[in-house]
């Protein structure tokens, strides 16, 4: 008989995700979903479309005053969003 190395699903799933090129899209989706948690309910109420392109998170904010306040906190938002995901997914936030 030969021995097989049996892997648990906890060991196998991350490897399969990485090998099939799904790790980055999954992390991007988690980061977009974390926006409401990181910024809070008040900001989430004025938030529209969110998407990531070239390591930049684009967020549509409908309130101009809130957009100006958040633009001054861009580096802090990048840091907190990346911490929420546990990986360096974005390098900038653009508020449109």
CB 66 within 8 A of CB 57: no
Q: Is pTM, for the whole model, over 0.85?
A: no
- Helix (H) / strand (E) element for 93: namely strand 92-95
Pairing mode of beta strands 56-61, 47-53: antiparallel
pLDDT in tens, 45-86: 999 999 999 999 999 999 999 999 999 999 999 999 999 999
Q: Are β-strands 92-95 and 47-53 bridged in parallel, bridged antiparallel, or unpaired?
A: unpaired
């Amino acid at each position: 008989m030969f021995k097989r190395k049996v892997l648990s699903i906890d060991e196998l799933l991350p490897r399969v995700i990485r090998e099939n090129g799904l790790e980055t899209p999954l992390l991007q989706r988690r980061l977009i979903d974390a926006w409401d948690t990181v910024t809070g309910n008040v900001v989430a109420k004025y938030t529209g479309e969110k998407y990531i392109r070239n390591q930049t998170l684009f967020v549509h904010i409908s309130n101009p005053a809130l957009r100006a306040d958040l633009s001054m906190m861009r580096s802090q938002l990048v840091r907190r969003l990346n911490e929420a995901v546990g990986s360096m997914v974005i390098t900038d936030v653009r508020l449109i």
